[in-house]
Amino acid sequence: MNTEFEVAACHSDRAGKAHVSIKHAGVTEISIQHIPFECDPAEVLTQEQQRIVAEAARIARKAAEFLDAQSTQLRTLPTQEEKPGAAPHEGESAGRP
């Protein structure tokens, strides 16, 4: 068993979405949110969570492949989404045109 990672949260909501978060070494958190998910009222919580984690694992593998491919390219990637009140990053001006 890998003790480097732990599931920090795993649940679905009434809007048909599932969410899972894992922690790496108790510090870094990775979340996969808004996974399309159909709840089954007859299913016990452990079975539901098993389905959520399995789907999150599939998405995480694809994301890891994507990140591996991106890591070989030299280009500027977005630093964060534009949000009101977001702090500028080093080298960026506070007021963007």
- Using a 10 angstrom Cβ sphere, with 0-12 exposed, 13-18 middle and 19 or more buried, the burial of residue 52 is buried
In a domain, 62, yes or no: yes
CA distance linking residue 13 with residue 91, whole number of Å: 40
How many structural domains does the chain have?
Answer: 1
pLDDT for res 34:
96
Average pLDDT over all residues of the chain: 86
H helices within the chain, ranges in order? 45-70
Residue 25 is assigned to a structural domain of this protein: yes
Q: Mean pLDDT over residues 32-51, rounded? A: 94
Q: Is pLDDT at 97 greater than 50 in this prediction?
A: no
Task: Establish if 95 belongs to a structural domain.
Answer: no
pTM of the model: 0.73
Burial class of 11 by CB neighbour count within 10 A (0 to 12, 13 to 18, 19+): middle
Condensed to tens digits (0 to 9), the pLDDT of residues 44-86 reads: 999 999 999 999 999 999 999 999 999 998 888 888 766 655 5
Interval 37-48 mean pLDDT:
93
Residue 28 confidence (pLDDT) above 90: yes
Does the residue 19 lie in any domain?
yes
Name 90's Cβ contacts closer than 8 Å, sequence gap at least 6: none
Residue 16 belongs to domain spanning = 5-67
In-domain check, residue 32:
yes
Q: According to the model, what pLDDT value does residue 77 have? A: 81
